[in-house]
Amino acid sequence: ALSSLSSIQVPLLEQTLDDFDQVPDLFKQLVSHWNNGENNKLLNLLNDDPMFQQGAEQVLEKLLYQRNRNWMKQLTQLENT
Q: Which pLDDT belongs to residue 52?
A: 62
Distance of CA 61 to the CA centre of its chain: 8
Q: Which pLDDT belongs to residue 56?
A: 67
Instruction: Report yes or no on whether pTM surpasses 0.85.
Output: no
In angstroms, the CA 62 to CA 1 distance is 6
53 versus 20: the higher-pLDDT residue is 20
In angstroms, the CA 6 to CA 27 distance is 19
11 versus 35: the higher-pLDDT residue is 35
Q: Which pLDDT belongs to residue 64?
A: 80
- Whether the predicted pLDDT of 78 surpasses 80: yes
